[in-house]
Structure 1
Amino acid sequence: MAITGAAGAAALAGCFGGDDDSDGETVNPDQEVPDHADAYFRTADGEHQITDFQYNPHIWGGFSHIQFALFDEWAQYLIDQDEYYPHFVEDWEFEDGLARLHLRDDYTWGNGDDITAEDLVMQLHLGEALDDDLFEFTDPDDIQAVDETTIEIEFDEGTNRDILRHIVLDRSLDHPPADWGDAYEELQDEGEVNMFDVDIDEPTPSGPVELGDVGEQEAQFDIREDHPLSDNYNWNGYQIGYRSGNEAFHQSFASQELHGIHSLFAGPGAQGQFPNTLEQIQIPGGFGMGIVFNHDHEHYGDREVRQAVAYAIDTEESILTVGADTKLEFPVQSGLTVPATEEWLDVDEYESYDQDLDMVEELLQEAGFERNGDDVWERDGSVLAAELQGPQGWGDWITPLSTIVDQLNQAGFEATLNSVDQGVWSENLTNGDFNVAAYGHTEGGNAAMNYPFFSFSWKFENRDHTGDGFFNYPEDEEITVPDGDGGEISVNPREELNTIANTNDESTIQESVERLARLFNEDLPMFLAQEKYEQSFIDRDGWEFPREEDSQHFQAFWPLYWLPKQDELKATVAAE
């Protein structure tokens, strides 16, 4: 097994045995590609049982990654190019105050109805019921279908066009009128609708597959012969099963039961068991584990305590527990993703928070803590406890969290690891039932997160669990912090975000980004522990696809679904 992607094939050179070439590339069996292979691409879901599958994209439970084949993209974000690639939306213009989208005219829904501009307008209008980011910048009356293949959206003049590009184009055709027409009518009549009450057990697809046979162990999704991309597929469709966790996936790949998966954490030990035809495609995820503080807590509401946590942690050591080839370490605590930090900031001007136990002691003493008889920090009789909650089964989080707990204990915290069911973890965050917890430092799978506005919004105005930021950070008031040059600055997060959102002047945007980064770096609303490479896998035994250097389509979510749409994934005779 070998690696392609952002880290390159050299990243794992020498780590694995087998018959790989000396440069670490995956073995290509060079198999014949027939006109048609009687085969299904076998994949699996690790979060949803087959019998639980449902097709309302707003309900997490049962909404499988097969969605990426069922529902075509408006446009596809190519991460390494920071560009959207045309798909159903085949062209667009973002002018001052107006976005104009031009649509393909050869698409139909799975029931045979044409997909038109009115359908997409309906989808956008429905987003109002979910506080879609789009409606921070426009109103439903300003979204119009000009004709069957053209949409115009009016915005306030001066609205940041980079923000608009993401919030408009980063969507899928996943609201067919056959399934969502009643909800739309209710929204128009009543002014509101509960999008979570819409039950969809059988999808009406826009993409190249449709639901076929469904059993308790697997479901088939067959190629739609009437889809404009159907000729790209020389195979029958996708067959998706269920695996109960990473180890089950690893075993299935080792025995070649599966042909690929959109995303799977597999460290060096697991990869060493994979066949040398299984290609790993690394995609910068812009996502990873952070540690969020409850700012209403008697201890973690203190800046000195949050900084002490940062100085107690050695992120490099924690990352090594899951394999440094799959994770990125933050150069500084800036509030931005790793690529964005390097693009937007001079990292030498910000505190790196390298592990420093002397600083831990200095900060906690400054905050009024003393060591007790057990050598644990306490203040006014209350020990400095850190119960790190994390989602059970997320190995690439729980394993490094265990190391971080050890580091905090060595620094004098009373630290424990509480690995709980994902639903319990989410509920505890919603209810504020935590003091510190593992939490994604960006929204996973969101292509926009490398742009500062979105990554800062996620951290300063987080709405993931409640209407208000669930970790109780003061989002709309001035906060004074050192300016890094011997003075002080006062920063209001919401005002700075509004500044970024309402200008296209690069110097103004840069200034606000730097002010928000300074606030984050000094005040630490949360701690950024690691950023991941998404690990996507496709087996070359049975499947033909180009080398990454010969295609522009690998750095997208996700190769096993996006490559065939570009006519770049074919079944070979060995797949039959």
Structure 2
Amino acid sequence: MSGPKDRHSHDSPLSRRRFVQGLGAVGVTTTLAGCGGTGQTEEDTPAGDSGGDGDTAGGGEGTETTTPEQIESVSRATIQELAYITNQTLPVLPIMEKLAQSFQATDDWNVPPADSEKMQVYWPTSWLPRQGEWTRKEGTEDERLTFAQWAVPSDSQYNVWNGTNDGEARRAMFDRFMRYNLATREYHPYLISDWEIDGTTVTLTVREGQTWHNGDPVTGQEVADHLKLDLYNSGGAGGLGPYVVPDGDMNAIPDRIQGTGDRTAEIELAHPVNEDVILSLLAPIQLRAYEGTYGEFVRGLDDAETEEERSQALGDLTDFTDEEPVGNGPWQWEDADSQRTLVTKFEDHPDADRINIPEIEYLYKPNNSGRWQSLINGETDGSATLFMPENQTRRLPDYMQTALVSRHWGMGIVFNHEQEPVDDPRVRKAIAHVIDREAAAKNSGAGTGSKIGVTYPSGLTGEFTGNIEGHWLEGVVDEFDTYGRAEQQTDEAAALLEDAGYEKQDGTWQQDGQPLELPIKGPAGFSDWVSGVETIVSHLQDFGIESEPVMQDSATYWGGDYIEGDFKLALQGWASYDHAHPYFHFDWIYNSGDATDYWNVPTEYEAPILHDQVRDSETVTPTNLISELATPEE
């Protein structure tokens, strides 16, 4: 299993060139979240938060999609400037991007080819059946699509604010607000059929004909209620919180988020916010807040007048288990036992006529090895995402295809900027020159091609489809340093270390007679990270830097050395997990709690200027530029 922030090998079975040719000139930029070191499984990103599914097809009431040109109102120059600052100062060192393996059976099922644009969604098992892109073949007797789930089905529950055992069947039973096309960077309507942002007012309209499984219509008030519960539960710290209640005033929530009509809800932002930032946060939300189930919790929190009352009301919400949920998706709750959850087609869903799958079941498979075997022996028909090493993929039947889905996130090296010598950018750059990121990614991917070495360490993602060169850095890519990818990189590294006061004696870099020691700490349980860091350590050692992997159990690492800043170099995801826009990545690198509290990143940097219309001094505060990205242009 990969790390909590868990990408570019030219040996990938689906090469970047081939994929770009298949898609045309479009790129990929997907949604990513700051997971800060929690042990989230790859497949089980919580619904209702900012992790989410994307898709390719339209929906709703004929509303046109929002294109990248329409939505990208932020200054490209500001994005490029932040990328250049990151590239020139390396507050973190991006090593690889992750490609998730997603599996689909083709024996009894029609599915798009593995290299199809339609596979670039979170997740194919969730979106393709909804859109009629994953269907039963004519004449097949199999009427049940079978997947896997982590938790014991009978112990699963569907209160997303409870935080425990959120059942895998949620993917079929609840609809997301919007769909996001990872390949074209387009938002498409789904449960929310229309949206409008007018200054600080965001208006959301529910798709006509959208009902709960008991026949009640989905209302704008329920959309508002879900958003409110998200804010109450996070204390205003996550998702929309910083944009709705930046001062953390929970008393403001009832006035700032309201149902304004049978099918409309309004969000009043504290200040204007770039549209792409708002949509990135809204699109992946799965609507859970059915009035008959959650209305009392919303009213309890809205009416709380003291912190004690609010704490009690929040406790009531988070203690509640929703074991037989009323959903709104194309499949409805049927039953669950100790081994499987069963959902059946909801004939009154707006997309029901596109779906010919009567049932979906989720089998209890609590570990990767069991999931591998189920795919190999045909017990399951696919998996949303699952790391499966090459020695196992070779055993898959011919009818089981593997698609690679870009995660726009991956393993990186983070530095404690209060520890010598990595507080010196010359040392960080020397490290970057020495490491062969392609080799680290290849070994981390264990023959699957699911990890891609970062070409331009810049804080930008989209390596898989050339989106960095072809979109974000278009016109300026030659200004960026690739580090570690040319034959003479060791000469560059040596010059930097010499300039920093080191000399090489008897094959080892030293300063004042002391060897340069750079151990790398990380979580031992993440086997792909272990393989990657072993490769990195060998590069440093070969260059004359004393290094070793210090891999610890998760509790010791994430709960101890990492959060205490007890490291010089450590492993963590370098991008903001499950968000679409570069804003979120730069905010993670320079402004997240991890960056400020654990990595001790400075507030100011000295970096050469790329665009003089963005800044006029080499002394720069990146968080100021990041704030500009969240603000719509005049």
The normalised TM-score by structure 1 is 0.72
Instruction: State the partner residue of 2:224.
Output: 121
Q: Tell me the alpha carbon deviations over residues 328-362 of structure 1, each in whole angstroms, 9 at most, x when there is no partner.
A: 33221111113553212222101111252233333
Partner residue in 1 for 2:604: 478
Gaps of 5+ in 2: 1-12, 23-105, 115-134, 246-252
Per the alignment, residue 301 of structure 2 pairs with 187
Residue in structure 2 matched with residue 138 of structure 1 by the alignment: 244
Q: Rate the CA distance shift 1:168–1:384 in 2: closer, same or farther, 3 A.
A: same
Q: Which of 496, 516, 523 pairs up with 1:390?
A: 523
Where 2:619 maps in the other structure, the secondary structure is strand
Match of 2:138 in 1: 33
Distance in 2, matches of 1:222 and 1:273, equals 31
Task: Mark the CA change 1:311 to 1:72 in structure 2 (over 3 Å): closer, same or farther.
Answer: same
In 2, the alpha carbon distance for the partners of 1:59 and 1:436 equals 35
Q: What residue in structure 2 maps to residue 531 of structure 1? A: none
Residue 426, structure 1, aligned to residue 558, structure 2: yes
Q: Please state if 1:489 is matched with 2:618.
A: yes
Q: Work out which of the residue numbers 154, 164, 172 in structure 1 matches 2:286.
A: 172
TM-score, structure 2 length as denominator?
Answer: 0.66
Identify unmatched segments of 5+ residues in structure 1. Answer: 12-18, 506-576
1:285-434 → structure 2 map (5 Å cutoff):
285-321=407-443, 322=445, 323=447, 325-338=449-462, 341-342=468-469, 343-345=471-473, 346-354=476-484, 356-369=489-502, 375=508, 377=510, 381=514, 384-390=517-523, 392-395=525-528, 397-422=529-554, 424-428=556-560, 429-434=562-567
1:369-408 deviation per Cα after TM superposition (whole angstroms, max 9, x unaligned)? 456778365668575232230351453x332222112112
1:69 Cα deviation from its structure 2 partner = 1.5
Aligned match for 1:154, one of 268, 282, 299? 268
User: How much does 1:239 deviate?
Assistant: 2.0
Alignment check: 8 A CA contact 1:74 1:86 kept: yes
Alignment match, 2:628: 499
Instruction: Please name the residue that 1:163 is paired with.
Output: 277
Deviations 1:452-501 (A, max 9, x none): 211111211124x69x5432213xx3322233799961221221111122
Contact 1:71 1:207 in 2 (8 A): yes
> Where does 1:14-29 land on structure 2 (aligned, <5 Å)?
none
Aligned pair in 2 of structure 1 residues 213, 394: CA closer, same or farther (>3 Å)?
A: farther
Instruction: Give the aligned residue type for 1:470.
Output: Y
CA distance in structure 2 between the aligned counterparts of 1:244 and 1:10, rounded to whole angstroms: 38
Contact 1:5/1:283, CA 8 A, preserved across alignment: no
CA distance in 1, matches of 2:227, 2:416: 34
> Is the alpha carbon distance of 1:198 and 1:181 closer, same or farther for their aligned partners in structure 2, counting shifts above 3 Å?
farther
2:570 maps to: 437
Matched residue, 2:103: none
1:207 deviates by 2.2
- 2-structure distance, mates of 1:234, 1:324: 32
Alpha-carbon distance change, 488 to 152 in structure 1, aligned in 2, over 3 angstroms: closer
Distance, in Å, in 1 between the alignment partners of 2:356 and 2:395 is 30
Please give the secondary structure, in 2, of the residue aligned with 1:472.
coil
Residue 478 of structure 1 aligns with an amino acid whose one-letter code is: E
Quickly say closer, same or farther: Cα 1:326–1:379, change in 2 above 3 A: farther
Matched AA of 1:162: D
- Pairing partner for 1:216 from 335, 338, 343: 338
Match for residue 200 of structure 1 among 321, 326, 331: 321
Displacement of 1:96: 3.5
Alpha-carbon distance, 1:222 to partner: 3.3
Say if 1:204 and 1:89 are closer, same or farther in 2 by CA, change over 3 A. Answer: same
Q: Relative to structure 1, is the Cα distance of residues 279 and 149 closer, same or farther in structure 2, using a 3 angstrom cutoff?
A: same
Rounded to whole Å, the distance in 1 between the matches of 2:629 and 2:153 is 43
- d(CA) in 1 for partners of 2:266 and 2:626? 25
**How is 1:446-525 mapped onto 2 (pairs within 5 angstroms)?**
446=578, 448-449=579-580, 451-463=581-593, 469-474=597-602, 477-483=603-609, 489-504=618-633
